[in-house]
Amino acid sequence: MSKTTASLGLLLVTIIWGTTFTFSKIALNYLSPATLLFIRYGIATLLLFSYYLFFQKRERLSQALVKGGLLGLLNFIALRTQTVGLLYTTATNAAFITATSVLLVPLIEWLIFRKKINIKIIGGIVLGASGLYLLVMPGGWQATLNLGDLLVLICALTYAFQISLIPRLSKGFSTMEITLAFLLLTTLPNIWGLEIPTWMNFVSSLGPVLYLATLGTVLTIYLQIHCQKIVTPVSAGFTYLLEPVFGFIFAALVLGERLTTIPLIGAIFIVSSTMLVNFEGFRKK
């Protein structure tokens, strides 16, 4: 696979990620958050596990459950807060707020792992925080923070911890082993709060759920792992920054969501700040 093809593959991943906010919003009309996540990640886990059994060497999956499982639990928290948040906020807001996880990673790396950050990263964090404020509180300080926006912000913080821990916890294991453990420990906690949907609700949600499980989870994971072996992390990161943009476009086309002037400026601030932080990187002590 050429670098151009790999870059196009990551672009497809980002487009699909952007659409998942809208499909989750639609599915939540028929399923509870726990039920949606359990079915989505349960299907994805079964599909990848089947592939693992037939095509991969089975060596250290049990050992990978500890470290990959921790990542999976973080993913569960992030997805649960994000999915519940979608009940109270728009798919557009959720997409842009989730993107602020890129801004939180430098703070975690600095506070916990003692990595230095420079003035450009600090500027990016300030710009992103300003954008987040304009997006979720366009009415100013007198406005009340939306519960959905707050939950998605918790999701972004959790994703930031996950991003920092992935390279540290995945050492010594194959990508498939970590991914399977990751998906398994994302799926199982969703038994908590699981509800059996009515037949009509199940049938109505089937389209969005199958999309989320196959294209939104299995395909994106496969393409991300495969294409990032060819494309540099910087190039991949730049591509991923387009996720909230695609999320906004798809939500506007399908759900009719719109951003007024002040939230739109906030969204632009967030995208600009994540680009600044992504390209600047860290300086080790």
pLDDT of residue 213: 94
Q: Three-class SS string for 182-247?
A: HHHHHHHHHHCCCCCCCHHHHHHHHHHHHHHHHHHHHHHHHHHHHHCCCCCHHHHHHHHCCHHHHH
* pLDDT tier, 282 (very low <50, low <70, confident <90, very high otherwise): very low
* pLDDT tier, 19 (very low <50, low <70, confident <90, very high otherwise): very high
Using DSSP's 3-state secondary structure scheme, residue 89 falls into coil
pLDDT of residue 53: 77
- Read off the pLDDT of residues 40-80 as tens digits, 9 standing for 90 and up: 999 999 988 888 777 666 566 667 777 888 888 998 999 89
φ, ψ of residue 171 to 5 degrees: the values are -60, 135
φ, ψ of residue 112 to 5 degrees: the values are -100, -45
pLDDT of residue 139: 59
Cα 282 from Cα 121, distance rounded (Å) = 9
Mean pLDDT to the nearest integer, 9-22 = 89
pLDDT of 173 over the 80 cut: no
Find, among 269, 202, 255, the residue nearest to 86 by Cα.
255
Mean pLDDT to the nearest integer, 1-24 = 87
CB 99 within 8 A of CB 271: yes
Residue 283 pairs in a beta bridge with 116
- Read off the pLDDT of residues 196-245 as tens digits, 9 standing for 90 and up: 889 999 999 999 999 999 999 888 877 877 786 777 654 565 567 677 78
Cα 189 from Cα 187, distance rounded (Å) = 6
pLDDT of residue 204: 93
- Read off the pLDDT of residues 124-158 as tens digits, 9 standing for 90 and up: 778 878 887 787 666 554 455 688 989 999 999 99
Question: Which residue bears the tokens 């294209």?
Answer: 215
Domain boundaries, the chain: 3-192+199-280
Mean pLDDT of the chain: 81
pLDDT of residue 131: 82
Cα 71 from Cα 180, distance rounded (Å) = 11
pLDDT of 284 over the 60 cut: no
Q: What is the pTM of this model?
A: 0.78
pLDDT of residue 110: 84
